[in-house]
Amino acid sequence: MGKMLGAQIDACWQQSCSAQCNDLPVTGKDQGPASGNCQQPVLTPAEICSQCTVDHCCAVWNACFGNNDCVALNQCSVACYKT
C-alpha cells in the first residue's frame, strides 16, 4: 500500500510539478511551502517543490503521509539516499 501511495505523489509531481520537483537532492534539510498547507505537513528538499505540492498534490500527499506504510517507506528512502 505504501509503495502505491508514494507512486501517486510521483505521478502528481510528474504531471503538475515536474520542473519544481525533478531531481531533488536528499539532504535532510527539508523546507516547507511559502504559503498554504495540506492536511499532512509538506516538507521537501526545495521550497518551490513544497509549494507546488501544496498547490497541486495535497490529496495524494495526505493519502501517503496519513498512511504508516507510506511514511515508513519514505523514511527508509530518505535514509538510503541521504548525502
Three-state SS for the chain is CHHHHHHHHHHHHHHHCHHHHCCCCCCCCCECCCCCCCCCCCCECCHHHHHHHHHHCHHHHHHHHCCHHHHHHHHHHHHHHCC
Total domains, the chain: 1
> Grid coordinates standing for 6?
508514494
**Residues of the domain holding 42:** 2-81
The predicted structure's pLDDT at residue 28: 67
More confident residue, 51 or 75: 51
The three cell numbers of residue 37 are 498547507
* Confidence check: pLDDT of 21 > 70: yes
Report the percent of the chain where pLDDT is more than 70. Answer: 93
Q: Note the pLDDT tens digit of each residue in 24-34.
A: 776 668 899 99
Instruction: Report the distance separating Cα 26 and Cα 24, nearest Å.
Output: 6
Q: What is the pTM assigned to this prediction?
A: 0.88
